[in-house]
Structure 1
Amino acid sequence: MTRRLLIKVTAGADEPERCNQAFTVASTAVATGAQVSLWLTGEAAWFAVPGRAEEFELPLAAPLADLLAAVLAGGTVTLCTQCAARRDIGEADVLEGVRIAGAPSFVEEALADDVQALVY
């Protein structure tokens, strides 16, 4: 059984290095064959909306849109329910493949066997 990696990213364009690190780790883990679950919370919630990842810039970093696409292709991406509501982001507003879920789902994932959780 492959170990699972749960990553919660709370930083967005307001903290670009921390944000990019979370997406880089998530996409790298997907590339290695790990089961990855990336949670978008706080300001990272905006990256669930089409076009937002393309606007993100950080010198010498892989494009955030590419990193997000890799995670969407090989893992799961979840937008925090409350974070979405505070930003008026609904189901119809998010990228294909992004689900909206709340704390009970996060806790269930985090407490499962063979899960490593990281928070950025």
Structure 2
Amino acid sequence: MSRSLVIKVTAGADAPERCNQAFTVAAAALASGIPVSLWLTGESSWFALPGRAKEFSLPHAAPLEDLLSAILAGGRVTLCTQCAARRDITVDDVIDGVRIAGAPAFIEEIFAEGARSLVY
């Protein structure tokens, strides 16, 4: 049985420590060889747009832009369909490599054999 980690991050600049922790855990899991799927929902949805992760700052934390780049390079990043729609974000707006998908895809991922999920 293979293992994987699905992380749903709901926090953005409104809760910077929780937000950064989600990205840090995702990047650490990838570095450990664990397949990772990061879901951007709620206020974290904005990080699907170019330049937004670079604007985020949290003292004593790895830059969010670097963490996002690592996750995009080795894992999967998904922007919630409804969250994107509420923010008028379209597939043409997002960073290359970010997909937009909804609840059925999320459910499929978290119920895959060997999957673990975290919500931040």
Runs of at least 5 residues in structure 2 that lack an aligned partner in the other structure: none
SS at match of 1:91: coil
Runs of 4+ in structure 1 displaced over 3 angstroms?
none
Partner Cα separation in structure 2 for residue 111 and residue 2 of structure 1: 13
The answer on whether the counterparts of 2:2 and 2:113 sit within 8 Å (CA) in structure 1 is no
> What's 1:93 paired with?
93
> What's 1:36 paired with?
36
Partner Cα separation in structure 2 for residue 89 and residue 5 of structure 1: 26
Q: Please state how far the C-alpha of 1:2 moved relative to its aligned partner.
A: 3.6
The answer on whether the counterparts of 1:42 and 1:83 sit within 8 Å (CA) in structure 2 is yes
Which residue type is aligned with residue 41 of structure 2? T
SS at match of 1:77: strand
> What's 2:50 paired with?
50
**Matched-pair identity in %:** 72
Q: Are 1:19 and 2:19 counterparts?
A: yes
Which residue type is aligned with residue 93 of structure 2? D
Q: Are 1:76 and 2:76 counterparts?
A: yes
Which residue type is aligned with residue 12 of structure 1? G
Partner Cα separation in structure 2 for residue 92 and residue 75 of structure 1: 21
Partner Cα separation in structure 2 for residue 58 and residue 74 of structure 1: 23
Partner Cα separation in structure 1 for residue 50 and residue 31 of structure 2: 23
SS at match of 2:96: coil
> What's 2:102 paired with?
102
What is the root-mean-square deviation of aligned Cα atoms in Å? 0.6
> What's 1:112 paired with?
112
The answer on whether the counterparts of 2:38 and 2:77 sit within 8 Å (CA) in structure 1 is yes
> What's 1:5 paired with?
5
SS at match of 2:92: helix
Partner Cα separation in structure 2 for residue 113 and residue 2 of structure 1: 8
- TM, length-normalised to structure 2: 0.99
- TM, length-normalised to structure 1: 0.99
